Structure 1
Amino acid sequence: MSASTEPPALPAGLSVFERGWLSANNILLRGPEGSALIDSGYASHSEQTLALVGQALGAQPLDQLFNTHLHSDHCGGNAALQAAYPQLHTAIPPGEAELVRQWDEDGLSYQATGQACPRFRFDAVLQPGQTLRLGGADWQVHAAPGHDPHSVIFFEPATRTLISADALWQNGFGVVFPELEGVHAFDEVGATLDLIETLAPRTVIPGHGAVFHDATTALAVARRRLDGFQRDPAKHQQYATKVLLKFKLLEWQQIGLLELAQWMQRTPYMVGAARRQGQAPSGDWLEQLVGQLVASGAARLEGEQLLNL
């Protein structure tokens, strides 16, 4: 009798709302202890987040909200969820609690990236090493620095299900943001990949993209990409710049080149990226970036308007 080729089932009580690349995936867990949502998407998609959660829960409240990290595409819906569910208990990763309490948008990267995130509150701080009872199962919290120094991932050992956030995707991992600030973090990416390999997940729920079941191949892809970035950090810088530009284009859908240049000139990450390449955040450098997006099929140029594809 041949072994089953059916992919392993998700844990009971767990639903994945796969979002577009502007918003992180949302994971809803329901069990005897109530309901919990992991990550809340981007601010401009808050209405859709509320609709997805409301449709799944019906008249039941959302009891808990957890963020894997505090990039805007993972916590931009927090404020809307807190307004819709006033008793919602919110827990964030360690390391940035004071920045959230004071609402320091510069320290939280929202000004640096030119992204939006409405102010939200928090009630608790997640601690790596703790176990949370969610959806009738025990989920381990693990530190996962690299993409973000404070990021965490969640692992359920009975079904070996991993909620990997941006530490591991099917085709790589998220931009290593500390590297954009001159802080070496590629080694931390590698250590997090080693941790995931040790956990040996059967099912991976990434921060972006579809659920997948071949962590071994994904880890190999991620390590090859990491090796390329370590050999040539400028390649990572170029990749990150295009990702940030594409993210904003997803939000805008279309923008004039003059407005785009003005945004670049007031966005610290873009200004820093241009400076490190001996460029100004406009002119030829901007033209090259736009050309690369168009050539890759990520955008279309119509006259002086750049359109998202």
Structure 2
Amino acid sequence: MSAASALPESIRVFERGWLSSNNVLLVDKARAALVDTGYATHAEQTLALVRHALGPRALDLIVNTHLHSDHCGGNARLQAHWPCATLIPAASATIVRDWDEPRLSFLATGQTCERFAFTGTLAAGERLTLGGVEWEVIGAPGHDPDSVMLYAAEPRLLISADALWEYGFGVIFPELEGESGFAEQQAVLEAIAKLDVRTVIPGHGKPFANVEAALERAFSRLAWLRADPARNAKNALKVLIVFKLLEVRAMTLDSLMAMLESAASLRAAAQQLAPRSAWPALLRELVGELAKSGALVVNGERLEAPAAAV
């Protein structure tokens, strides 16, 4: 039996490609809720998936684990279709209310997100009922300082967002800006290890059941990153380059260089790896490694997403 098939009937996971986070649809008699909404360019697809699953029923609630563009990019489209309530992490409330773009992550990562509203917040220790299941909100800083997870002691289920995947976790973004993130990620992994979890629904990838093995891999990777923070910076650049290519499908090295100079998170990562004069060489090195792994295709000065990428 797969981990997904073991989920309660009230919970359905839309496993998405890496441009969009997974969406978790939880339905009970009181309301229909969606945890995380994917990326902006996939918003119509997200809407179609939810409409098909709900039929004539409306979506009542959006819950965002954190406000990276691949987790909240569909908010505005869903809100335009349904007058649904929206809960976001409490620590993000002010910047979303003011739509403070320098403090939101979208411009800093070279990504996009249509402005959306929210009606309430989530804070660690709070409880809410979704899909007929009671969930505890757990703080999950590390990948993102404001991120939260949702844990249900019965049926021993964790919606982990980007704090834990089956094979790793999300980029530790605070460390790019010289702020603490590794220690927080360590604490989050230790907190997960203390929970009684049978199934994890991650932000990316399929739901999985072998939580102990996933945690072992995550602890090992975190130790590797902490041993040389440049590794986190290099990983961040690779992830953000591939993400952009998944969105636009093709771009030139010159346009990638322009994005590196204009997007604060990319710029901060590059500064950890090389002086400004060496950035063109750095990009070519990273692009070469990504091409070798099959993450992109190099055609002269043009970079392309693999044909099979979604």
Give the TM-score taking structure 1 as reference length: 0.96
Distance 1:6-1:235 versus aligned 2 partners, 3 A rule: closer
2:13 paired residue among 16, 26, 38: 16
Identity of paired residues, percent?
Answer: 50
Counterparts of 1:234 and 1:304, CA distance in 2: 26
SS at match of 1:241: helix
Shift of 1:12: 2.7
Cα separation, partners in 2 of 1:72 and 1:6, compared to 1, 3 Å: closer
How far 1:282 moved relative to its partner?
4.2
Aligned to 1:242: 238
1:187 aligns with 2:196: no
- Which stretch of the first structure deviates more once superposed, 248-257 or 219-228? 248-257
Which whole-Å CA distance do the structure 2 matches of 1:162 and 1:6 have between them? 16
Q: Which residue of 2 aligns with 1:106?
A: 102
Q: Is the 8 A contact 1:33 1:133 kept in 2?
A: no
Moved over 4 A (4+): 5-8
2:291 aligns with 294
**Counterpart in 1 of 2:77?**
80
Instruction: Note the residue ranges of structure 1 that are not aligned, 5 or more in a row.
Output: none
- CA offset digits 1:99-131 (Å, max 9, x no partner): 001101110111111110100000001121111
Q: Who is 2:43 aligned against?
A: 46
* 1:136 matched residue in structure 2: 132
Q: Aligned with 1:96: secondary structure?
A: helix
Residues 93 and 288 from structure 1, CA distance in 2 versus in 1: closer, same or farther, beyond 3 angstroms? same
The question of 1:213 aligning with 2:215 is answered no
Write the distance in 1 (CA, Å) between the matches of 2:232 and 2:269.
11
1:119 aligns with 2:118: no
CA offset digits 1:120-173 (Å, max 9, x no partner): 000001121111111111111111111111111011111101100000000011
Q: Which residue of 1 aligns with 2:65?
A: 68
* Distance across 1 between alignment mates of 2:142 and 2:2: 33
Partner of 2:142: 146
Does structure 1 residue 266 correspond to structure 2 residue 275?
no
**Alignment correspondent of 2:272:** 276
Distance (whole Å) between structure 2 residues aligned to residue 204 and residue 275 of structure 1:
35
- The residue aligned with 1:34 is 31
What's the secondary structure of 2:186's corresponding residue? Answer: helix
Distance 1:6 1:115, change over 3 A: closer
Structure 2 residue runs without a partner (length 5+)? none
Q: In structure 2, the residue corresponding to 1:28 is in which secondary structure?
A: strand
2:87 match: 91
Partners in 2 of 1:217 and 1:155 — Cα distance? 19
The residue aligned with 1:231 is: 227
Q: Following the alignment from structure 2 to structure 1, what is the Cα–Cα distance between the partners of residues 186 and 36?
A: 24
Compute the displacement of 1:286 (Å). 1.4
> Any conservation in 1 of the 2:233–2:273 contact (CA below 8 Å)?
no
Task: State the alpha-carbon separation in 2 of the partners of residues 26 and 141 from structure 1.
Answer: 17
Cα distance per residue 1:166-190 (max 9 Å; x no partner): 0000001100110111101111101
Deviation at 1:200, TM superposition (A): 2.5
Q: Which residue of 1 aligns with 2:304?
A: 307
Report the aligned-residue RMSD: 1.3
| Alpha-carbon displacement from aligned partner over 1:75-110 (angstroms, at most 9, x marks no partner) | 00000000010x200000111111001101110111
AA of the residue aligned to 2:23: N
Number of residue pairs matched? 304
1:33 shift after superposition: 1.2
CA positional deviation for 1:222: 0.1
Distance in 1 between the 2:12 and 2:2 partners?
Answer: 18
| TM-superposed deviation, 1:6 | 6.7
Check 1:12–1:165 CA distance in 2 against 1; reply closer, same or farther (3 A cut): same
Contact 2:237-2:270 within 8 A present in 1 as well: no
TM-score normalised per structure 2: 0.95
In 1, Cα distance between the equivalents of 2:180 and 2:241?
23
| Shift of residue 255, structure 1, vs aligned partner | 1.0
- Partner AA of 1:69 in structure 2: H
